């Protein structure tokens, strides 16, 4: 026999929402982000993160082995994580001590 549930409209609505959300959450697929990039996508990624580079420069860096990449047949393949960490390692932190030293030297020359 079927059980009869007596409930207010709000309570019934919340029960239905919970059951529907359980069904949809069980069937949702997990999106996996692909880590590999082609040459053109690597250039776009670097440009997006503020490291613009030409195609020729990227080819030179891969030929000299200065940038992390792999070959798949005749194609170059890059890892998103490796490229971003490489780009971050290429930047130098702003060092104000050299600028301060130059400013002090100029000031000392003017006072002579």
| Overall pTM surpassing 0.85 (yes/no) | no
Distance of alpha carbon 63 from alpha carbon 90, whole angstroms? 17
Does residue 83 surpass a pLDDT of 90? yes
Does residue 77 surpass a pLDDT of 80? yes
Give per-residue pLDDT as tens, 32-54: 667 899 999 999 999 998 889 99
Burial bucket for residue 87 (CB in 10 Å: 0-12, 13-18, 19+): middle
């Amino acid at each position: 026999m079927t059980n009869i549930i007596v409930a207010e409209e709000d309570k019934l609505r919340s029960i239905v929402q919970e059951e529907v959300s359980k069904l949809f959450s069980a069937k949702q697929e997990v999106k996996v982000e692909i880590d590999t990039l082609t040459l053109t996508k690597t250039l776009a990624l670097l440009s997006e993160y503020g490291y613009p580079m030409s195609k020729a420069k990227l080819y030179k860096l891969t030929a000299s082995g200065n940038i992390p990449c792999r070959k798949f047949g005749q194609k170059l393949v890059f890892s998103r994580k490796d490229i971003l960490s490489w780009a971050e390692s290429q930047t130098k932190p702003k060092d104000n001590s050299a600028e301060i030293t130059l400013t002090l030297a100029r000031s000392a020359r003017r006072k002579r």
